[in-house]
Structure 1
Amino acid sequence: MCGRFVSASSPETIAEYFGAAFGGESLGDNYNVAPTNDVYGIVADPAPAAAPEGARADAAAPTSSTDGRRLEVFHWGLIPSWAKDRKIGAKMINARAETLGEKPAFKGVFRKHRCIIPMDGFYEWQAATESSPLDAKGKPRKQPMFIHRIDDEPLAVAGLWARWKDPAAETDSGDDMWLHSATVVTTSANATMRPVHDRMPVILPRSVWDEWLDPDMHDTGRLSELLVPAADDILTMHPVSYDVNNVRNKDAHLVDAVAAA
């Protein structure tokens, strides 16, 4: 799975890297992005429907770029259009690539609403050993690891997005409020990740970005072929402080290498 990641690049830097337009406000540096936080996502036309002004985590009015890509803001934790409230999003932070076409929450948006979630890296926890330090309950602590590209370029992680109307919220103008949310697509681990975890985010190579984002591409069989483990030679990792375990900690020291416990 993917439950924490780093988003420390400015939206202008992300937009330039992905050839996208951006007209919103920065979310700020966050070295410990957690579920239900707001995150960036790259989408292609047609744009998500315009949302009322002031609706937090809603995409801004669409702005076009030369290739149709835009950098938008999403709530991390996909809320299906049929959900009665937003609480379900906390359980929808990840979507397994192998079952996207089967799950009611994902099969529709898999065909129509795909995105790329840019990350500067992500965290995973390695299983504890007999020599691991103990936590407050006397149990061995898992070692947090920071995983990132060897060349330090951003990770282009496959995602899905949805648009949900809150039935209980209205703006002063009477317009319905729309919330845009997203989930991270995961797949089986490659050889680099396997010693730490059996799952990893789907990292899309540049050569398939257009195909993945194309809103007119509805061939889920072909799309599923893109959702494979990353090549074994693009990622590296190192142990980091247990401070990352606390979601309130969000500064840059979280990615600094430490001696493994």
Structure 2
Amino acid sequence: MCGRYAASANVGELIEEFDVEEDRTGEPTRTLLVSSQDPPAGTPDHNMAPTKQAPVVLTRPARGGSEVSADPTRQLRLLTWGLVPSWSKDTSGATRMINARAESVATKPAFAKAVASRRALVPAEGWYEWQVSPTAVDAKGKPRKQPFFIHRADGDLLAMGGIYEFWRDPNVAEPDDPAAWLVSFAVVTHAAEEGLDRIHDRQPLVLEKADWERWLDPDLTSTAAIGDLLAPGPAGRFAAYPIGRAVGSNRANGPGLLLPASRADLVGVVDPMTGEIIGGPDA
């Protein structure tokens, strides 16, 4: 997975779709961004990129004033994309940990504790991937890359399986200071299914609604309890189509990024469903 997705739903839609009991997106949180996030965190973002804050669904004990309830609630929070393990000396590794491979997430030191008890759902309209052309090159003589948008074929929002972690900044004295804690997440990925593997060899783990509660349950702390959810789901759930190249810029945004590219603009692009090469001398 290349590290971009469309988080186009607003907070109200996410609360309804994911049966959220506690909306905590309005709370002050620590960010890794130097400049203000654009679009603002918690609003629809059609080009979600690493180190941005994104809406994430998780289950944790609820808070009520100074009291903390023992009963967990389903919450919507803004978390930073790019996981920083609790034992990290600093946050510099966040951009290298945007994804966690399903095959090794339970054994990698950076991810093992998080997948055991800190699992989350990452809502998205779909994700972006770049296909490397087998026939066409760019102006620098390198293989041409064509962006695709991949989404659920039934049009529903998808829920990517994620894991999250808390990192405490030792330089901030007060633990109640929002700047003292960074809460970050990674998206779990697995081998791409047939068809999508013509675009990229990896894809995010997408969980079906019937599995959301079990994935979010913090009391299920053994790999055996959720191991089957780490396996690829049934093939055929997704559709993919080539889009314009504007998505390659972090500054580009808006629903226009999802518009299909004109067939006339495609050069050396492999149709993911048929394997046909579109555009160029070998088309």
Q: TM-score, normalised by structure 1?
A: 0.87
Displacement, 1:17?
A: 0.2
Q: Which residue of 2 aligns with 1:9?
A: 9
Q: Which residue of 1 aligns with 2:204?
A: 201
Q: Which residue of 1 aligns with 2:111?
A: 106
Alignment of 1:210-229 (within 5 A): 210-229=213-232
Letter of the aligned partner of 1:177 in structure 2? Answer: A
Q: Which residue of 1 aligns with 2:150?
A: 147
Q: Which residue of 2 aligns with 1:56?
A: none
Deviation by residue 1:112-156 (Cα, 9 ceiling, x = unmatched): 111011111000111113235x14x34232110000011221111
Displacement, 1:251?
A: 1.8
Instruction: Name stretches of at least 5 consecutive residues in structure 2 with no aligned partner.
Output: 27-40, 268-283
The answer to whether 1:254 aligns with 2:269 is no
Task: Report if aligned partners of 2:123, 2:159 keep a CA contact under 8 Å in 1.
Answer: yes
2: distance between equivalents of 1:75 and 1:62? 26
Q: Which one of 47, 51, 57 corresponds to residue 36 of structure 1? A: 51
Displacement, 1:232?
A: 1.7
2: distance between equivalents of 1:154 and 1:169? 38
Displacement, 1:235?
A: 0.4
The answer to whether 1:232 aligns with 2:235 is yes
Task: Report if aligned partners of 2:25, 2:42 keep a CA contact under 8 Å in 1.
Answer: no
2: distance between equivalents of 1:114 and 1:200? 18
Alignment of 1:9-28 (within 5 A): 9-21=9-21, 22-25=23-26, 27-28=42-43
Q: Which residue of 1 aligns with 2:246?
A: 243
Q: Which residue of 1 aligns with 2:185?
A: 182
Q: Which residue of 2 aligns with 1:72?
A: 77
Question: Where in structure 1 do 4 or more consecutive aligned residues deviate above 4 Å?
Answer: 61-64, 170-176
Alignment of 1:149-164 (within 5 A): 149-164=152-167
The structure showing larger relative contact order (alpha-carbon pairs under 8 Å, at least 6 residues apart) is 1
- Decide which structure has the larger Cα Rg and report it: 2
Task: Report if aligned partners of 2:61, 2:68 keep a CA contact under 8 Å in 1.
Answer: no
Displacement, 1:41?
A: 0.9
Displacement, 1:171?
A: 6.3
Alignment of 1:81-120 (within 5 A): 81-120=86-125
Displacement, 1:174?
A: 6.6
Displacement, 1:95?
A: 0.2
How many aligned residue pairs are there? 247
Q: Which residue of 1 aligns with 2:276?
A: none
1: distance between equivalents of 2:217 and 2:177? 33
Provide the secondary structure at the position in 1 that maps to 2:214.
Answer: helix
Q: Which one of 115, 130, 134 corresponds to residue 125 of structure 1? A: 130
Task: Report if aligned partners of 2:25, 2:55 keep a CA contact under 8 Å in 1.
Answer: no
Task: Report if aligned partners of 1:2, 1:184 keep a CA contact under 8 Å in 2.
Answer: no
Letter of the aligned partner of 1:9 in structure 2? Answer: A
Letter of the aligned partner of 1:100 in structure 2? Answer: V
Task: Report if aligned partners of 2:164, 2:183 keep a CA contact under 8 Å in 1.
Answer: yes
2: distance between equivalents of 1:62 and 1:248? 41
2: distance between equivalents of 1:168 and 1:191? 48
Greater percentage in strand: 2
Provide the secondary structure at the position in 2 that maps to 1:130.
Answer: strand
Deviation by residue 1:183-228 (Cα, 9 ceiling, x = unmatched): 0000111123111111110001111111111010012123121112
2: distance between equivalents of 1:69 and 1:62? 17
Residues 222 and 141 (structure 1), Cα distance of their counterparts in 2 relative to 1, 3 Å cut: same
